[in-house]
Homo-oligomer: A and B are copies of this chain.
Amino acid sequence: MAWLNFLDLRSLPVKEAEAVVLPIPYEATTTYGAGTREGPEAILAASRQVELWDEEHGWDPSAAIRLATAAPILPEVSGPQAMLEKIKRVVQPWVQQGKFIAALGGEHTITAALLQVLQTRYPDMTVVCLDAHADLRESYDGSKLSHACVMRRVYELGRPLTLLGVRSYSKEEADLMWVAPRFKLFKAKDLHTPEGWQAALDHLQAIPGPVYLSLDLDALDPGIMPAVGTPEPGGLSYRQVLTIMETLTRRGPVIGLDLVELAPIPGHRVSEFTAAQLLYKALGYIFHSRQK
């Protein structure tokens, strides 16, 4: 079996890598806007055009990080429970070996599995999620493991959870967010004001301990990221997302990462280019800060 490599690098075996790009082309609980199963390959293909030199920090992260692209985790179609178990089986040994995992969805549901494993190693972690939607429903379309419930499942792990960029949620979710401890919301609308934006950065800066970053690409404005299942106008700019990532990495360790929900639009490649660039930027920030 063959698959594309992130950045089209000479492939390192996973066991020799310190960072693993892990494609998870899973899409089974979304009922609208099909296509996230094709997200990982589109991002890997676009990544071949990403310039390796990082013009911001003046280094080549791809040469400095021992990076591997793992074999895609192929979907288990008997239901989301089986799929999440499969993901956990794959990533468990890597997490135990201290590898950094950057997962590429597929639908957002996969984050729940990744965090269940990471929590065993980083019990003091905080979860930071960029998303247009709250994803805090108790259940959706007959399952508690729907993509629309993923942050509810993550929240139930008992760790602090910060959502940024949200601009769409139900009353049920609003009621929960209003009272939930360990929970912090920065709505997209507020991030577009200088004060709201500063408040968010201050909050992120102050997060102690390890942080996991889940990036649902619909957090970005659909003008620059149209290829998502449910585009919501009024989203974050590319520069804002970079700044959030930089702020988190300057603050302390980022111990895992996912980019999810890209559903490629045939013939319109901007979204996957931007996603590939975001992934490389994130890895660059994270490992640059580790080296200091």
Contacts and interface: CB of A to CB of B under 8 A. Distances in A.
A238 B233 contact: yes
A270 B224 contact: no
Given A49-B230, A53-B171, A140-B77, A268 B270 contact: no
A292 interface: no
A34 B34 contact: yes
A14 to B, nearest CB: 14
Nearest to A51: B168
Interface string A41-79: 100010011011101101010000000010000111111
A260 to B, nearest CB: 15
B1 A2 contact: no
Contact of A74 (B141, B170, B187): B141
A142 B77 contact: yes
A56 to B, nearest CB: 7
Contacts of A36: 34
Interface in A204-250: 221-224, 226, 230-234, 238-239, 242
A40 interface: no
B5 A10 contact: no
Contacts of A86: 142
Contact of A53 (B41, B169, B268): B169
A34 B31 contact: no
A38 interface: yes
A154 interface: no
A3 to B, nearest CB: 7
B2 A168 contact: no
B37 A27 contact: no
Contact of A1 (B8, B187, B232): B8
A141 B28 CA distance: 12
Nearest to A56: B189
A80 interface: yes
B267 A69 contact: no
Contacts of A51: 133, 168-170
Interface string A122-135: 00000000000100
A69 B2 contact: yes
Interface in A262-280: 263, 265-270, 273-274, 277-278
Q: Which 3 A-B pairs have the closest CB atoms?
A: A79-B79, A266-B267, A266-B266
Given A2-B9, A41-B45, 4 more contacts: A55-B167, A55-B168, A76-B143, A231-B270
